[in-house]
């Protein structure tokens, strides 16, 4: 009945064991030799299960130290899948649009978060904008973080990396004029305005990129 695929059973057993013994992310799980003994399987078979879990990012192994349950809040979902998703020559446009989608969604989320509005964090952004070292990517990433959706943040980060990085440069003076309205709108929780300003900024960047040269 349960013919073959022993390593799949092992995956399950390991999962159950982790639950029962209340192993928390970061904790060590028993050594390969112990597990093999406990589950009555050969070490190589056990390793097949472990390597699979590792590729999924569920566990983490360090030679000489042991095997650890990784923090699945940082699920590797995206990394693993991105190799499949992004492998074919997906049009640049899709990546750009999708990234923008995540960014705008983050802005919406931020505007609707009342607790966030009371923190008055936007002033500090404005100050940093005045200062010298302020990268576009940093600004947007912080927005993504503020949105509170970690999965969206991860996807965004990948798309950001993938799409070259027209984002990773210092902001120019012209650009600051485009960014200030975004901060103003965010400060006052004006969702529509913030999105509009953000789109303007994004399109401005995209246009400039097209002019400068399309480094793939």
* Residue 98 near a copy of itself by CB under 8 A: yes
Which residues from 177-216 bind a copy of itself, rule CB under 8 A? none
Give CA–CA dist 17/23, Å, rounded.
8
66 scored as a contact of DNA (CB under 7 A)? yes
Among 35, 36, 41, 47, binds a copy of itself (CB under 8 A): 47
By CB under 8 A, residue 56 contacts a copy of itself = yes
Near DNA by CB under 7 A: residue from 12, 15, 33, 150: 33
Q: Go through 35-50 and write b for each residue having 16 or more CB atoms within 10 A of its CB, e for each that does not.
A: bbeebebeeeebbbbb
The set of long-range contacts for 72-80, using a CB threshold of 8 Å and a minimum separation of 24, is: 72/25, 73/25, 73/150, 74/150, 74/154, 75/151, 75/154, 77/151, 77/154, 78/151, 78/154, 78/155, 78/158, 79/158, 80/55, 80/56
Of 52, 61, 105, 149, the residue at the interface with DNA (CB under 7 A) is 61
How many Cα atoms sit within 13 Å of 196 on the Cβ side?
8
d(CA 19, CA 9): 15
Identify what 98 binds: DNA, a copy of itself, none; CB under 5 to 8 Å per kind.
a copy of itself
The yes or no reply on residue 207 touching DNA (CB under 7 A) is no
The binder of 77, among DNA, a copy of itself, none, by C-beta within 5 to 8 A per type, is: a copy of itself
x/- map, 139-178, a copy of itself, by CB under 8 A? ----------xxxx-xx--x---x----------------
List contacts with DNA (CB under 7 A): 3-7, 31-34, 36, 40-48, 50, 61-67
């Amino acid at each position: 009945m349960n013919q073959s695929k022993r390593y799949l059973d092992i995956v399950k057993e390991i999962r159950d064991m982790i639950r029962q013994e209340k192993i928390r992310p970061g904790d060590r799980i028993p050594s390969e030799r112990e597990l093999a003994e406990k589950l009555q399987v050969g070490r190589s078979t056990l390793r097949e299960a472990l390597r699979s879990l590792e590729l999924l990012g569920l566990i983490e192994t360090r030679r000489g130290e042991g095997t650890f349950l990784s923090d699945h809040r940082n699920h590797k979902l995206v990394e693993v899948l991105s190799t499949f998703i992004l492998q074919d020559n997906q049009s640049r446009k899709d990546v750009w649009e999708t990234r923008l989608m995540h960014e705008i969604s983050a802005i919406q989320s931020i505007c609707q978060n009342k607790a966030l509005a009371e923190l008055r964090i936007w002033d500090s952004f404005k100050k940093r904008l005045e200062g010298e070292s302020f990268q576009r990517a940093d600004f947007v990433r912080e927005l993504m973080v503020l949105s509170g959706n970690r999965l969206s943040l991860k996807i965004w980060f990948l798309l950001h990396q993938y799409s070259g990085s027209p984002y990773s440069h210092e902001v120019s003076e012209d650009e600051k004029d485009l960014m200030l309205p975004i901060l103003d709108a965010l400060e006052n929780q004006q969702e529509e305005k913030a999105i509009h300003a953000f789109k303007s900024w994004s399109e401005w960047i995209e246009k400039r990129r097209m002019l400068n040269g399309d480094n793939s």
